[in-house]
Structure 1
Amino acid sequence: MRTSLFVGLAAAGLLASTASAQAQDRAGITAGDWLVRLRGIVVAPNESSSGITPALPTAKVGVGDAVMPEVDFTYMATDHIGAELIVSSTRHDIQGREAISSLGKVGHTWVLPPTLTLQYHFMPKAAVRPYVGAGVNYTTFYSAKTSDSLNKALGQTSLSLKDSFGYALQAGVDIDLNKKFFLNLDVKYIDMSTTARLNTGGAINQTSVDINPLVFGFGVGTRF
């Protein structure tokens, strides 16, 4: 029985070693690699705003979630260190809160938030590779428009939003499917704030808005 147990354990160890070697043969990244990922993302703002001053100090706004595709490019400077550039654009509805909550949607804007992070990959030679990152974000708001409900309440009003610069934090994991392709799960926190300006016939009102979204991503990638 002892001999059979020993043989069984040895065989199991040999099989595990072979499987590990095969996994290592098909897995991993190295210095000089380029990684390209295509993700579907959910942008979920953790938003708050000040009152709309001077005319509506008790009125506030909120920023809605968005779902959109995203592309990112990572260059591995070393086996462990990579630099990732994230490119996407999302459309967000702006909702009335407190004194103007009855108006519902008061506008929308498109957001272009290119983000550059420096990543640390913990196990670059493994088939499952977690990483963390930190970097900077510059956000441009464009094609912002007010809603019919706001225009009826205040008169014809235009909307503009100030660009934002802040930090970004990131955590994720790549999971090899084969030598070429891998799955990716990723989450980011982006420090993002803006000032929204409402122009109604030359009368200017504004509100400060903290957006600070969490960005959840799931997709596939390739290395070359």
Structure 2
Amino acid sequence: MNTGDRRLLAGVACVVLGATGGASDAHAQDAGNWLVRARVVHLDSANKDDTGFGLTINNKVLPEVDISYFFSPNLAAELILTYPQKQTIHSSVVGADIGTFKHLPPTLTMQYHFTGLGNFRPYVGAGINYTNLSSVKFDSNVAALNLGVKHNSFGLAVQLGVDVPIGGGWLLNADVKKVQIGTTVYSNGNSVGKLRVDPVLFGLGVGKRF
């Protein structure tokens, strides 16, 4: 995580922590079945590669929107969305960036929300991620390898977070997710291994209960 990313996330974290002492209407967060949040998320990739090319992708900060529906005060389903994110592919063997791609990674989780804890609403979740890779482009410096990737990925997702009501149905949120995302890499039409992105996603944001 670079210095700018740290400052951005630290600033939002200060807002979350500072608001906890002034939350005066915790029960308002429980009104309504729908909850919409907007988060700033830092994607930290595991970059596990067994292709022999030493492949990694860049970490980045990205926007995220999620929509939750509460079946009860404790049980909810959450759909996590963003727009296609551009990533750079680096090869330690080549010693340079060798391409780019975009990924669209919607995730659906089922959550259990803990109640009766004052101004805090911690939750845990688990579900499934689908990631679509598109606009895959490899540079001319690896043209002889004729590289390609599998465009669809399915994997599990786990989640831990907390909502902090601040009144009127509004809340602040901190959230961390571990998601299984990976792709098979091909050279001249033959599989040469897999790149496991498997990121940890650290998110901070705001939400509104309807």
* TM-score of the aligned structures, taking structure 1 as reference length: 0.75
Partner of 2:69: 75
CA distance in 1, matches of 2:179, 2:26: 36
Match of 2:169 in 1: 180
Cα shift readout 1:8-59 (whole Å, capped 9, x = no counterpart) = xxxxxxxxxxxxxx945654315x51000011111111111112xxxxxx42
1:170–1:86 distance in 2 versus 1, CA, 3 Å: same
2:150 corresponds to 1:161: yes
Q: Is the 8 A contact 1:24 1:125 kept in 2?
A: no
Contiguous gaps of at least 5 residues in structure 2 = 1-22
Q: Which residue number in structure 1 is paired with residue 198 of structure 2?
A: 212
- In structure 2, distance between residues paired with 1:112 and 1:124: 36
Structure 1 Cα separation of the partners of residues 103 and 192 of structure 2 = 19
Residue 144 of structure 1 aligns to a residue whose secondary structure is strand
What corresponds to 2:113 in structure 1?
121
Shift of 1:160: 3.4
Higher-RCO chain (CA-CA 8 Å, sequence separation at least 6) = 2
Are residue 39 (structure 1) and residue 39 (structure 2) matched?
A: yes
Instruction: Note the 1:62-141 alignment, pairs <5 A.
Output: 62-88=56-82, 89-97=84-92, 99-100=93-94, 102=95, 104-123=96-115, 126-141=118-133
Distance of 1:182 and 1:148 partners within structure 2: 49
CA contact (8 A) 1:50 1:207 kept: yes
Partner amino acid for 1:45? S
Shift >6 Å, 4+ stretches: none
Q: Distance in 1 between matches of 2:116 and 2:124?
A: 13
Please say if residues 111 and 142 of structure 1, whose CA atoms lie closer than 8 Å, have aligned partners that are also in contact.
yes
Matching residue of 2:19: none
CA distance in 2, matches of 1:106, 1:195: 16
Count residues with an aligned counterpart: 187
- The equivalent of 2:30 in structure 1 is 29
The answer to whether 1:150 aligns with 2:151 is: no
**What 5-or-longer segments of structure 1 have no aligned partner?**
1-21, 52-57
Q: What residue in structure 2 maps to residue 190 of structure 1?
A: 179
1:181–1:220: 8 Å Cα contact kept in structure 2? yes
CA deviations over 1:81-135 (Å, ceiling 9, x no partner): 00000011322111102x32x2x11111111111000001101684321111001
Matched, 1:59 2:60: no
Q: Which moved more, 1:182-191 or 1:84-93?
A: 84-93
**Rg larger in structure:** 1
How far apart are residue 161 of structure 1 and its match? Answer: 2.9
* C-alpha distance in structure 2 between counterparts of 1:124 and 1:82, whole Å: 17
Bigger shift: residues 78-87 or 122-131 = 122-131
| Overall identity of the aligned pairs, in % | 35
Q: 1:25 to 1:135 in 2, by over 3 A?
A: closer
Task: Give the direction of change, closer, same or farther, for the CA distance of 1:76–1:125 in structure 2 (3 Å limit).
Answer: farther
